[in-house]
Structure 1
Amino acid sequence: MKFEAIIFDLDGVICHTDNFHYLAWKAIADQYGIPFDRMVNDRLRGVSRRDSLEIILENGGRSYSEEEKQRMAEEKNEIYRGFLAEMTPGDLSPETWETLNALKARGVRLAIGSSSKNAGLILSRLGLESFFDAVADGTEISRSKPDPEVFLLAAEKLRVSPRCAAVVEDAAAGIEAAKRGGFYAIGIGSAAGYEASDGRISRLSDLLSVVQGPLL
């Protein structure tokens, strides 16, 4: 299929910081005596920090003030950013790097569409801060996935129509966001089994057999 552009979710697609999120949320949950495990953590995939906190607090056993919630979210982010600070370009897999460069060689414009407010830091640590043609992240949006706002913003920055672009996502919320925005939604990882996905890949390099660019 021919696409003018591909918009990638960041965490779980380009890189993998899932365990950093889990460890940071686990530290906060333990501090406040809130039950939290991998099963609950799986519900946080593709969800904003604040919405993730609300899911965790479902098991809190009491109501929490806005001030407490704000403090928890900030403490979690500080722990998470501590893990991110240890990332290096070596954390980007050779397969990912080769796939991105091959897509660029085909004339496909590439963007990041991430709900994370730490996307800029992650890209910088990976040495990708100037690689993508556009980046839309959580610092620029008011509605998180499954709302399509972040993908529509990325498409706007690329100056391409959603119908001419594909989105690669690893979470059901991201696939739903892509579909709502009018994009072709490609599922990878757990999202590859999501029935709403338009396309499915088992690894990022599979894109090269699925996607053609303007130069092909």
Structure 2
Amino acid sequence: MSEIKACLFDLDGVIVDTAVYHYRAWKRLANELGFDFTEEENEKLKGISRVRSLELILEWGGVVKSEEERSELATRKNDWYVEMVSSMDPEDILPGAAEFLRKVKAAGLKTALGSASKNSGLILEKTGLLSLFDAVLDGNSVTTSKPDPEIFLKGAEALGVRPENCVVFEDAVAGIEAAKAGGMKAVGIGSAEILNKADLVVRGLFEMSVEQLDNL
């Protein structure tokens, strides 16, 4: 039995699904560099920073680039991605996500976003969800990526809530590990087999109720 006072959410795969936009932008970049990029490879980038994602893609393609060239490539990919997410709207919110966020707020719990995406603010704005978050922590707010707990610890700090009173909602193994490393409860969104370190696993926020938080 835990006393949950705050809910911290990852963005991609939990609140919205922007994986398809990341995939299209990375694939376009890989194709321009002369090799292909598969959906299976894209799965391996879940929860990983843009810089690390690029390093992996270049490794897979057997392409060597200087630090300056890598920086330019990461920027190019991001420009394409931002262009795509700029056309997002409330239709892009995953089933049950907005409803659950409203219930969490109505119950008097605090909310924060903890996402590696540096475009989180833009996405929340486009989907009309920004007002449902008390704090937004993204890739611009931290120096280390998940599974390091930095982003969630900073989220808890921004909300003025102790880590043990927080629950994290994540769809990636690295995110669940980050939550646990930070001393928080974790709810996995996706497969129970893959997210086996989570305290509870559901298929989506449409399966969550505020009452379930009392039993974590």
Question: What TM-score, normalized by structure 2, do the two folds share?
Answer: 0.93
Distance in 1 (alpha carbons) for counterparts of 2:143 and 2:192: 24
Answering whether residue 133 of structure 2 is matched by residue 132 of structure 1, we say: yes
2:76 maps to 75
Deviates more, 1:40-49 or 1:88-97: 88-97
1:91 maps to 92
1:186–1:198 contact (8 Å) kept in structure 2: yes
1:205 maps to 206
Counterpart secondary structure, 2:96: helix
Runs of 4+ more than 4 Å apart: none
Counterpart secondary structure, 1:34: coil
Supply the RMSD in Å over aligned alpha carbons. 1.7
Q: Which amino acid aligns with 1:97?
A: A
1:160-205 Cα deviation digits (max 9, x unpaired): 0110010000001111111111110111124663221121112203
Q: Which amino acid aligns with 1:47?
A: I
1:65-91 Cα deviation digits (max 9, x unpaired): 111111110010011001101111232
| Structure 2 CA distance for partners of 1:191 and 1:149, relative to 1, 3 Å | farther
How does 1:163-178 map onto structure 2 within 5 Å?
163-178=164-179
1:60-116 Cα deviation digits (max 9, x unpaired): 324211111111100100110011011112322462221111111111111100111
Deviates more, 1:161-170 or 1:31-40: 31-40
Q: Which amino acid aligns with 2:54?
A: L
Aligned residues: 213
Where in structure 1 are there 5+ consecutive unaligned residues?
none
2:48 maps to 47
The structural deviation recorded for 1:35 is 3.2
Answering whether residue 114 of structure 2 is matched by residue 116 of structure 1, we say: no
Question: What TM-score, normalized by structure 1, do the two folds share?
Answer: 0.93
The structural deviation recorded for 1:131 is 2.0
Distance in 1 (alpha carbons) for counterparts of 2:171 and 2:95: 19
| Structure 2 CA distance for partners of 1:191 and 1:136, relative to 1, 3 Å | farther
Counterpart secondary structure, 1:130: helix
2:102 maps to 101
1:170–1:191 contact (8 Å) kept in structure 2: no
Question: Identity, % of aligned pairs?
Answer: 47
Distance in 1 (alpha carbons) for counterparts of 2:207 and 2:109: 15
The structural deviation recorded for 1:134 is 1.0
Counterpart secondary structure, 2:186: strand
